Amino acid sequence: MSQDFRLPAGGRIDRSERLNFTFDGQTFTGYRGDTVASALLANGVHLVGRSFKYHRPRGIVTAGVEEPNALIDCNITAQEKGTREANNRATFTELRHGLTTKSVNAFPNLNFDIGEINSLMARFIPAGFYYKSLLVSTGMWHRVVEPVIRRAAGLGVTDEVADVSRYDGHYLHADIVIVGAGPTGLQAARVAAKSGARVVLVEQDTECGGSLLRDPVEIDGMDADLWVATVEAELAAAPNVRVLTRTTLSGIFDHNMLTALERVTDHLDVQDAADDHRPRMRWHRVRAKQVVLATGSFERPLVFRNNDLPGIMFAGAVETYLQRYGVKTGNTGLFLVNNDMALSAAIKAKDAGIDVTVVDVRSESTGPNTERLMAMGVPFLTNHTLVEAKGGKRVKAAVVAPMNGDGTAISGEMRTIECDFIGSSSGYNPIVHLHCQSGAKLDFDPTTACFVPGAPMGATPTISAGGCKGLFSLNDALASGASAAQEAMDALGLQAAEATVVSASEEAHPGSLHIRHLWLLPTDKPTSKGGKFWVDFQNDVTAADLQLAVRENFRSVEHIKRYTTLGMATDQGKTSNINALGILSDVLGVTIPDIGTTTFRPPYTPTTFGAIAGREPGDFLDVARVTPMHDWHAEHGALFEDVGQWKRAWYYPKAGENMHAAVDRECRAVRESVGILDASTLGKIIVKGPDAAEFLNRVYTNKWMKLGVGRCRYGLMLGEDGMIMDDGVSSRVAEDEFLMTTTTGGAANVLSHLEDYLQTEWTDLKVYLTSVTEQWAVASLNGPKARALLSELCDDVDLSPESFKFMEWKEATVAGIPARIFRISFTGDLAFEINVPADKGMALWTALMTAGAKYGITPYGTEAMHVLRAEKGFIIVGQDTDGSLNPHDMDMSWIIGKDKDDFIGKRSLTRKDMSDPMRKQYVGILTDDPKEVLPEGAQLVNVADAPASAAPKSPVPMQGHVSSSYWSSAAGRSIALGIVKGGIARKGETLIVPMPDGRNVKVTLTDTVFVDAEGARQHG
Partner 1 sequence: MVAQPAKKQRFNALALFRNALSYHQNWEQQWRSPEPLEAYDVVIIGGGGHGLATAYYLAKEHGITNIAVLEKGWIGGGNTGRNTTIVRSNYLWDESAAMYEHAMKLWEGLTQELNYNVMFSQRGVLNLAHNLTDVRDTQRRVNANRLNGIDSIYLDAAGVKKVVPGIDLRGGGRYPVMGASYQPRGGTARHDAVAWGYARKCDEMGVHIIQNCKVTGFDIEGGVVKGVQTTKGRIGAKKVGMVPAGHSSVLASMAGFRLPVESHPLQALVSEPIKPTIDTVVMSNAVHAYISQSDKGELVIGAGVDQYISYGQRGSQHLAEETLVAICELFPQYKRMKMLRQWGGIVDVCPDASPILTSTPVDGMYLNCGWGTGGFKATPGSGHAFAAHIAKGEPTELTAPFALSRFETGFLIDEHGAAAVAH
Q: Number of residues interacting with partner 1: please give it, by CB under 8 A.
A: 121
Q: Which is nearer to partner 1, 123 or 1019 (CB)?
A: 123
Q: Does 251 bind partner 1 (CB under 8 A)?
A: yes
Q: Which is nearer to partner 1, 252 or 312 (CB)?
A: 252
Contact 969/665 with Cβ under 8 angstroms?
A: no
* Binding flags for partner 1, 864-903, as an x/- string (CB under 8 A): --------------xx--xxx-------------------
Stretch that binds partner 1, among 202-210, 271-279, 381-389, 946-954 (CB under 8 A): 946-954
For residue 732, the minimal CB distance to partner 1 (Å) is 31
Number of residues that this document lists for the chain = 1020
Give the DSSP letter string of 288-313.
Answer: EEEEEE---EEE-----BTTTSTTEE
* Binding flags for partner 1, 905-944, as an x/- string (CB under 8 A): ---x--xxxx-x------------------xxxxx-x---
How far apart CA 942 and CA 927 sit, in angstroms, is 14
Q: Does 24 bind partner 1 (CB under 8 A)?
A: no
Chain positions 778 to 807 lying near partner 1, rule: CB under 8 A, are: none
Q: Does 123 bind partner 1 (CB under 8 A)?
A: yes
Write the CA distances from 833 to 112, 178, 783, 812, 1000, integer angstroms: 76, 59, 12, 12, 43
Chain positions 181 to 220 lying near partner 1, rule: CB under 8 A, are: none
Q: Does 133 bind partner 1 (CB under 8 A)?
A: yes
Q: Does 954 bind partner 1 (CB under 8 A)?
A: yes
For residue 897, the minimal CB distance to partner 1 (Å) is 20
Contact 310/47 with Cβ under 8 angstroms?
A: yes
Q: Does 78 bind partner 1 (CB under 8 A)?
A: no
Among 499, 576, 507, 494, residue whose Cα is nearest residue 535: 576
The reply to whether omega before 603 is within 30° of 0 (cis) is yes
How far apart CA 898 and CA 221 sit, in angstroms, is 89
**What is the DSSP code (8-state) at residue 467?**
G
Per DSSP, the three-state class of 872 is coil
Contact 851/863 with Cβ under 8 angstroms?
A: no
Q: Which is nearer to partner 1, 194 or 305 (CB)?
A: 305
Stretch that binds partner 1, among 43-51, 133-141, 768-776, 852-860 (CB under 8 A): 133-141
Give the one residue of 24, 116, 641, 792 binding partner 1; rule: CB under 8 A.
Answer: 641
User: Beta strands of 735-845 (E only): which ranges?
Assistant: 737-742, 768-771, 776-782, 809-814, 817-822, 831-837
List 421's β-bridge partners, or say none: 333
Chain positions 743 to 772 lying near partner 1, rule: CB under 8 A, are: 745
Q: Which is nearer to partner 1, 303 or 568 (CB)?
A: 568
Chain positions 506 to 535 lying near partner 1, rule: CB under 8 A, are: 526, 528-529
For residue 62, the minimal CB distance to partner 1 (Å) is 17
Chain positions 588 to 627 lying near partner 1, rule: CB under 8 A, are: 599, 601-603, 606-610, 612-614, 616-619, 621-622, 624
Write the CA distances from 201 to 227, 636, 686, integer angstroms: 17, 56, 47
Q: Who contacts 508 (Cβ-Cβ below 8 Å, separation ≥6)? A: 215, 217, 218, 474
Tell me phi and psi for residue 58, to 5 degrees. -135, 150
For residue 679, the minimal CB distance to partner 1 (Å) is 18
What is the b/e burial string over 595-612, where b = at least 16 CB atoms within 10 angstroms of the residue's CB?
Answer: bbbbebebbbbbbbebbb
Chain positions 423 to 482 lying near partner 1, rule: CB under 8 A, are: none
Q: Who contacts 797 (Cβ-Cβ below 8 Å, separation ≥6)? A: 804, 810, 811, 812, 821
CB atoms within 10 A of CB 958: 15
How far apart CA 465 and CA 475 sit, in angstroms, is 12
For residue 125, the minimal CB distance to partner 1 (Å) is 8
Give the one residue of 144, 853, 950, 985 binding partner 1; rule: CB under 8 A.
Answer: 950
Chain positions 52 to 71 lying near partner 1, rule: CB under 8 A, are: 52
CB atoms within 10 A of CB 431: 24
Give the one residue of 10, 126, 368, 710 binding partner 1; rule: CB under 8 A.
Answer: 126
Q: Does 93 bind partner 1 (CB under 8 A)?
A: no
Chain positions 684 to 723 lying near partner 1, rule: CB under 8 A, are: 721-723
How far apart CA 796 and CA 104 sit, in angstroms, is 78
In terms of C-beta density within 10 A (0-12 exposed, 13-18 middle, 19 or more buried), how is residue 630 classed? buried
Give the one residue of 994, 1001, 1010, 1018 binding partner 1; rule: CB under 8 A.
Answer: 994
Write the CA distances from 331 to 70, 310, 391, 611, 710, integer angstroms: 21, 14, 16, 42, 95
Q: Does 997 bind partner 1 (CB under 8 A)?
A: no
In terms of C-beta density within 10 A (0-12 exposed, 13-18 middle, 19 or more buried), how is residue 739 classed? buried
Q: Which is nearer to partner 1, 397 or 716 (CB)?
A: 716
Q: Is 221 left (phi over 0), alpha (psi -120 to 50) or beta?
A: left
For residue 92, the minimal CB distance to partner 1 (Å) is 12
Taking every pair of Cα atoms in the chain, the longest distance, rounded to a whole number of angstroms, is 116
Chain positions 534 to 563 lying near partner 1, rule: CB under 8 A, are: 544, 548, 551-556, 558-559, 562-563
Among 375, 329, 379, residue whose Cα is nearest residue 359: 379
Chain positions 799 to 858 lying near partner 1, rule: CB under 8 A, are: none
Which amino acid appears at position 787 of this protein? R
Give the one residue of 34, 66, 85, 360 binding partner 1; rule: CB under 8 A.
Answer: 85
For residue 267, the minimal CB distance to partner 1 (Å) is 16
Q: Does 368 bind partner 1 (CB under 8 A)?
A: no
For residue 452, the minimal CB distance to partner 1 (Å) is 22
What is the b/e burial string over 184-197, where b = at least 16 CB atoms within 10 angstroms of the residue's CB?
Answer: bbbbbbbbbbbbbb
For residue 620, the minimal CB distance to partner 1 (Å) is 9
For residue 608, the minimal CB distance to partner 1 (Å) is 5
Q: Does 574 bind partner 1 (CB under 8 A)?
A: no
How far apart CA 886 and CA 872 sit, in angstroms, is 20
For residue 567, the minimal CB distance to partner 1 (Å) is 10
For residue 254, the minimal CB distance to partner 1 (Å) is 7
Q: Which is nearer to partner 1, 643 or 788 (CB)?
A: 643
Q: Which is nearer to partner 1, 191 or 718 (CB)?
A: 718
Give the one residue of 137, 366, 505, 990 binding partner 1; rule: CB under 8 A.
Answer: 137
Give the one residue of 78, 114, 117, 136 binding partner 1; rule: CB under 8 A.
Answer: 136
Chain positions 296 to 355 lying near partner 1, rule: CB under 8 A, are: none
Give the one residue of 379, 446, 917, 952 binding partner 1; rule: CB under 8 A.
Answer: 952
Tell me phi and psi for residue 546, to 5 degrees. -65, -45
For residue 597, the minimal CB distance to partner 1 (Å) is 14
CB atoms within 10 A of CB 22: 14
Q: Which is nearer to partner 1, 173 or 1019 (CB)?
A: 173
Contact 86/110 with Cβ under 8 angstroms?
A: no
**What is the DSSP code (8-state) at residue 267?**
T
Q: Does 278 bind partner 1 (CB under 8 A)?
A: no
Stretch that binds partner 1, among 302-310, 411-419, 641-649, 772-780 (CB under 8 A): 641-649
Give the one residue of 156, 182, 279, 924 binding partner 1; rule: CB under 8 A.
Answer: 156
Stretch that binds partner 1, among 131-139, 183-191, 576-584, 671-679 (CB under 8 A): 131-139
Q: Which is nearer to partner 1, 316 or 461 (CB)?
A: 461
